């Protein structure tokens, strides 16, 4: 996972802020079986090859709460996120993509090593219900879509600059 954030904490309430972030993730779907269910029953398909997602996640407006300490500043945040996903892989149907609104929740801490520079450790949870549809003019494109839940817990380390 790779990303960047930009935020602002308010002068009159230095423990409250707002943040936006953009990240790129490439989660993989492992090889295995797929269970299809419907009104007529269910079917199990074996031999599903591995797929990968190309995920772009925009944490639109995360409401942040921090302890405004001098060196150590723990924080929590919650807000909406936009998810842009696309399936990739040798067996992936062409043109399968999804866009959804979901949840972003995070907890972490900044440790200032100078007045402006800090080391950051963060745990972030993303969740969205993605509806994959075929949006390709290719005749080989899968005409059927499916819904999947994206749920990921990530741990990140980074460097931040405050001005």
The CATH number of the structural domain formed by 2-30+42-161 is 2.40.160
- State residue 96's pLDDT score: 75
pLDDT at 20 over 70: yes
Domain boundaries, the chain: 2-30+42-161
Residue 159 is inside which H or E element, if any? strand 146-161
Of residues 81, 104, 90, the one with CA closest to residue 28: 90
What pLDDT score does 25 carry?
A: 81
- List pLDDT tens digits, range 30-73: 666 667 667 777 777 666 566 666 888 999 999 999 998 889 99
How many angstroms separate the CA atoms of 106 and 99, rounded?
21
Q: Return the structure tokens found at 121.
A: 């450790």
Q: Which two tokens stand for residue 21?
A: 């972030």
Residue 3 has pLDDT above 90, yes or no: no
Question: In this predicted structure, what is the pLDDT of residue 51?
Answer: 66
Q: What is the pTM of this model?
A: 0.77
Q: What is the residue whose two structure tokens read 């972490």? A: 108
The residues near 112 (Cβ < 8 Å, ≥ 6 apart) are 70, 71, 72, 73, 118, 162
The predicted model gives 110-135 an average pLDDT of 90
90 pLDDT exceeds 70?
Answer: no
Quote the CA–CA distance of 134 and 157 in Å, as a whole number: 36
Average pLDDT (113-136) is 88
């Amino acid at each position: 996972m790779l990303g960047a954030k930009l935020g602002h904490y308010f002068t009159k309430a230095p423990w409250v802020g707002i943040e936006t972030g953009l990240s790129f993730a490439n989660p993989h779907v492992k090889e295995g079986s797929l269970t299809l269910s419907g009104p007529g029953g269910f079917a199990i398909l074996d031999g599903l090859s591995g797929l990968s997602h190309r995920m772009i996640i925009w944490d639109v407006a995360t409401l942040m709460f921090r302890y405004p300490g001098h060196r150590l500043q723990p924080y929590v945040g919650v807000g909406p996120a936009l998810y842009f996903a696309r399936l990739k892989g040798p067996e992936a149907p062409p043109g399968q993509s999804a866009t959804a609104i979901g949840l972003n929740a995070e907890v972490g801490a900044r440790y200032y090593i100078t007045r402006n520079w800090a080391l950051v450790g963060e745990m972030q949870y993303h969740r969205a219900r993605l509806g994959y549809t075929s949006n390709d003019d290719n005749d080989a494109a899968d005409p059927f879509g499916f819904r999947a839940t994206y749920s990921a817990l990530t741990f990140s380390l980074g460097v931040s600059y405050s001005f």
